[in-house]
């Protein structure tokens, strides 16, 4: 195989999220989030799993940072738990909650690992959910206040801030089809949530920059939407609808182009857009220094009268068919197609020139049922997946995309939301009963990639 080198200063790292790894759900003044409530609701999460203990990272962060240093990570993307920092969602702050992120940041910097902070990775304080959550404007306003509180504590050491992680999931899975917390099932609520999430981003991004943050961005799980038949006009229309609901509804307002007309027309058929106020689009279009892209799998659609659509895409039933995977899949059932990452990066790069991109998540769940002679999980399927996607990222670089870094999802096996602990994405195995961490073969492979700055 050809030797592939990445640019000098390419950022190599790994990502996690607070509710998925921290545990310590009731410690030091943390209040419940929507995920605490949801996971304790029978039938919502596989086998009743919760994030109560998770990887106990709250208590074991020093060991985890040492592990990151051993693997040679240059950056670590973690999220801050809003209900740890502001248990009521609004002020006052909870100093012990901020202390934890303070210790974590110092531990990372002491090992030469750049902290990349995500302010919202789905764990909305329950107190705010009780007042309407992301369906109401107050949550967006409170998000900016909370962002400032975190920046006030960490801003002297953290350079890179991302506001939201994957608002598509928060809105459509959280309020549209009910698969994620808080479990709403209402198309109108999903679109309200999209707007207030974007508004929250805009308000927070402006506040962070005014407070001196150097790099401000957002992470989207953009979709590479492809037609079943490239020559079919009906399939092209299906691609346009799904692309509008997944990508352009976020990218348009974020980059100053506002909501696309076709998307507005579509959502107006499902909800009275009375939540859109004059001036909001301007607020959302706060300048971005970085776009985080999370990519796992492409999406293939066909345009078909009577198509089943998907509950995650409000208004898609009746005209769109989502195709089952036509090739190898991960344990999540997600099609493995690295070329989708190249296509997606090229498209974003071409549509938004001058906007630096970082792959803020990419990785795969596999059964991890084989060990090698050293007792490590022999996850060659994960190595192949990561290798293929890094080659795809390199292809995008070679075609001129301004790609700044790659963060593997995930450092540790963790709480995979509605799937509980049964799906493992980590490059480090976690034995939940003992909390023992053991790097998998993929972790050692990634360590080599980082040290060679290439493949
Ligand atoms: O575990 C999630 C993460 O929280 C957000 N992006 C996708 C990952 C895998 O499903």
CATH of the domain at 292: 3.20.20.80
Cis status, amide bond into 410, omega within 30 of 0: yes
> What is the domain range of residue 20?
11-452
Residues 150-154 have a mean pLDDT of 99
pLDDT digits (tens, 9 = 90+) for 218-247: 999 999 999 999 999 999 999 999 999 999
Euclidean distance between CA atoms 45 and 50, whole angstroms: 8
pLDDT digits (tens, 9 = 90+) for 262-281: 999 999 999 999 999 999 99
Closest-CA residue to 77 (of 210, 215, 255) = 215
Which pTM was predicted? 0.98
- Asked if pLDDT for residue 1 goes beyond 90, the answer is no
- Asked if pLDDT for residue 452 goes beyond 80, the answer is yes
pLDDT score recorded for residue 2: 55
Tell me, in angstroms, the distance from the centre of ligand 1 to residue 231's CA: 33
Residues 6+ apart with CB under 8 A from 246: 168, 222, 223, 225, 299, 313
Cα dist from 327 to 4, 74, 431, whole Å: 26, 34, 31
Tell me what percent of the residues of the chain surpass a pLDDT of 70: 100
Number of alpha carbons in the 13 Å side-chain half-sphere of residue 48: 2
> Annotated catalytic, 281?
no
Contact assessment for residue 176 and residue 187, using Cβ atoms and an 8 Å cutoff = yes
| Residue 2 domain flag | no
| Residue 236 domain flag | yes
Residues 331-360 have a mean pLDDT of 98
Residues 319-345 have a mean pLDDT of 98
pLDDT score recorded for residue 393: 98
- The mean pLDDT value of the chain amounts to 98
- Structural domains counted in the chain: 1
- Residue 285: pLDDT band with limits 50, 70, 90: very high
The three-class DSSP label of residue 402 is coil
Tell me, in angstroms, the distance from the centre of ligand 1 to residue 233's CA: 33
| Residue 283 domain flag | yes
> Annotated catalytic, 166?
yes
Task: Name all residues whose Cβ lies below 6 A of ligand 1.
Answer: 17, 20, 166, 294, 361, 409, 416, 425
| Residue 58 domain flag | yes
Euclidean distance between CA atoms 29 and 354, whole angstroms: 42
Euclidean distance between CA atoms 177 and 72, whole angstroms: 40
| Residue 339 domain flag | yes
Residues 397-406 have a mean pLDDT of 98
CA 432: distance to chain centroid? 23
pLDDT score recorded for residue 128: 99
| Residue 1 domain flag | no
| Residue 6 domain flag | no
| Residue 444 domain flag | yes
Residues 323-349 have a mean pLDDT of 98
pLDDT digits (tens, 9 = 90+) for 45-79: 999 999 999 999 999 999 999 999 999 999 999 99
Minimal-distance CA residue to ligand 1 atom 9: 416
Backbone angles phi, psi at 40, to 5 degrees: -90, 0
């Amino acid at each position: 195989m050809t030797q592939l080198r990445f640019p000098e200063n390419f950022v190599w790292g790994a990502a996690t999220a607070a509710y998925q790894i921290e545990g310590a759900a009731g410690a030091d003044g943390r209040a419940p989030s929507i995920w605490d409530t949801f996971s304790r609701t029978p039938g919502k999460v596989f086998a009743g799993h919760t994030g109560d203990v998770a990887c106990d990272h709250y208590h074991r962060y020093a060991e985890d940072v040492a592990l990151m240093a051993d693997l040679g990570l240059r950056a670590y993307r973690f999220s801050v738990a809003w209900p740890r920092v502001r248990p009521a969602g609004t002020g006052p702050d909870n100093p012990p909650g901020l202390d934890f992120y303070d210790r974590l940041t110092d531990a990372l910097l002491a090992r030469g690992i750049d902290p990349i902070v995500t302010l919202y990775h789905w764990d909305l304080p329950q107190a705010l959910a009780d007042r309407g959550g992301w369906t109401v404007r107050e949550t967006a306003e409170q998000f900016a206040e909370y962002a400032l509180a975190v920046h006030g504590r960490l801003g002297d050491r953290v350079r890179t801030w991302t506001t939201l992680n994957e608002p598509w999931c928060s809105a459509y899975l959280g309020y549209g089809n009910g698969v994620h917390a808080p479990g709403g099932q209402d198309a109108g609520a999903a679109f309200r949530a999209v707007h207030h999430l974007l508004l929250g981003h805009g308000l927070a991004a402006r506040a962070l920059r005014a407070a001196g943050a150097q790099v401000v961005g957002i992470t989207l799980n953009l979709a590479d939407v492809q037609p079943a038949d490239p020559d079919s006009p009906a399939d092209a229309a299906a691609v346009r609808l799904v692309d509008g609901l997944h990508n352009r509804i976020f990218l348009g307002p974020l980059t100053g182009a506002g909501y696309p007309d076709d998307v507005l027309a579509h959502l107006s058929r499902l909800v009275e857009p009375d939540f859109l106020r004059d001036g909001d689009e301007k607020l959302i279009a706060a300048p971005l220094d970085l776009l985080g892209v999370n990519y796992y799998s492409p999406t293939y659609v066909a345009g078909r009268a009577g198509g089943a659509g998907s509950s995650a895409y409000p208004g898609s039933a009746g005209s769109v068919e989502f195709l089952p995977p036509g090739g190898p899949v991960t344990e999540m059932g997600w099609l493995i197609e690295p070329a989708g990452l190249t296509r997606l990066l090229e498209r974003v790069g071409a549509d938004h020139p001058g906007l630096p991109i970082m792959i803020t998540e990419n990785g795969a769940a596999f059964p991890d049922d084989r060990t090698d002679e050293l007792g490590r999980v022999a996850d060659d399927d994960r190595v192949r997946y990561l290798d293929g996607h890094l080659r795809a990222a390199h292809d995008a670089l070679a075609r001129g995309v301004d790609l700044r870094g790659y963060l593997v999802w995930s450092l540790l096996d963790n709480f995979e939301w509605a799937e509980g602990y049964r799906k493992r994405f980590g490059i480090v195995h976690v034995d939940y009963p003992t909390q023992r961490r053991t790097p998998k073969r993929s972790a050692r492979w990634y360590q080599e990639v980082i040290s060679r700055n290439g493949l």
